[in-house]
């Protein structure tokens, strides 16, 4: 690949690719449009863009949680007696011992305090129970669960084309030179807010990046072959 004509062609493509990247970025800067869609998810209702024919219909919004930690309590029996020495009342209180993290299969190991087998803390293998009792009578109480991910299922249509996909909070979806970002939500009102970035120069810039990478690799190979040939 030490052909001067080929090398010249590759260099021309590299310069063209750089130009495409610059043009694409400039087009996005001056022609790009941001829009915010307020989507009702309960019940779902369609949203229509005021700047294009884009229409979005939310299907479902869900929150994924990490498995909860469990507080371990030791039962403590207390009683009161009369002056005659007779027991009047007995009650059971619980003393906090430690915090235990369960396994994803629904089992838990509290060390010397006991354990529960797989599935013991799960309902239908999906829902974590709020309370459980170890064989020795120690109580497990679920604690606050941290939110792990937010997922919006929706259908988008524009220019006679439609697509159904899921949007994660940190993973925007792509639809016809648009980027759809999940930016906020209101669980109480059932409203999800999307940021829609119309990027008309995105395809141009991506094409330039692709050509730049391919030609750079080919030029590197050609350079090594030229050195070896000498």
Give the Cα separation of 214 and 212 in Å (integer): 6
Q: Give the CA distances from residue 123 to residues 14, 105, 106, 173, in Å, rounded to whole numbers and listed in that order.
A: 59, 11, 9, 33
Mean pLDDT calculated for residue range 204-223: 85
Give the Cα separation of 217 and 3 in Å (integer): 16
Q: What is the DSSP letter of 218?
A: H
Residues ≥6 apart with Cβ < 8 Å to 120? 106, 107, 108, 132
Strands 131-133 and 139-142: antiparallel
- Per the CB < 8 A criterion, the answer to whether 196 and 180 are in contact is yes
What is the three-class DSSP state of 58?
strand
Strand order from edge to edge, sheet including 191-198: 33-40, 191-198, 178-186, 173-174
Q: Give the CA distances from residue 30 to residues 35, 157, 198, 206, 224, in Å, rounded to whole numbers and listed in that order.
A: 15, 25, 11, 17, 41
Give the Cα separation of 111 and 99 in Å (integer): 11
81-88 contacts at long range (C-beta below 8 A, 24 or more positions apart):
none
How does pLDDT run across 24-66, given as a tens digit for each residue?
888 888 887 889 999 998 888 899 998 889 999 998 888 888 8
pLDDT over 90 percentage in the chain: 42
Enter the tokens of residue 128: 């974590």
Give domain limits for the chain. 13-30+200-230, 33-65+147-198, 70-142
Class of domain 33-65+147-198: mainly beta
Its pTM surpasses 0.75: no
How does pLDDT run across 108-157, given as a tens digit for each residue?
999 999 999 999 999 988 889 999 999 999 999 999 888 888 899 999 99
Residue 201 has pLDDT above 60, yes or no: yes
Question: Per-residue confidence at 83, pLDDT binned at 50, 70, 90?
Answer: low
Residue 228 has pLDDT above 80, yes or no: no
pLDDT, mean over the chain:
86
Q: What is the DSSP letter of 44?
A: B
- Per the CB < 8 A criterion, the answer to whether 159 and 176 are in contact is yes
| Helical H segments across the chain, by residue range | 4-31, 202-229
């Amino acid at each position: 690949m030490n052909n001067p004509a080929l090398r010249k062609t590759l260099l021309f493509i590299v310069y063209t690719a750089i130009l495409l990247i610059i043009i694409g970025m400039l087009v996005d800067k001056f022609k790009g449009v941001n829009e915010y869609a307020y989507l009702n998810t309960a019940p779902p209702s369609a949203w229509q863009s005021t700047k294009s024919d884009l229409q979005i219909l939310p299907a479902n919004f869900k929150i994924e949680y990490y498995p909860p930690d469990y507080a371990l309590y030791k039962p403590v029996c207390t009683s009161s007696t009369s002056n005659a020495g007779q027991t009047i009342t007995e009650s059971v209180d619980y003393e906090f011992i430690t915090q235990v993290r369960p396994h994803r299969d629904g089992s838990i190991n509290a060390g010397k305090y006991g354990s529960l087998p797989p599935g013991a803390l799960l309902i239908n293998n999906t829902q974590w129970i709020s309370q459980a009792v170890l064989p020795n009578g120690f109580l497990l109480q679920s604690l606050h669960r941290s939110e792990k991910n937010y997922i919006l299922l929706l259908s988008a249509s524009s220019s006679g084309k439609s697509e159904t996909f899921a949007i994660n909070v940190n993973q925007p979806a792509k639809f016809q030179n648009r980027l759809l970002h999940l930016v906020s939500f209101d669980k109480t009102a059932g409203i999800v807010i999307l940021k829609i970035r119309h990027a008309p120069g995105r395809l141009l810039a991506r094409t330039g990046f692709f050509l730049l990478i391919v030609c750079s690799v080919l030029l590197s190979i050609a350079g090594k072959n030229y050195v070896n040939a000498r």
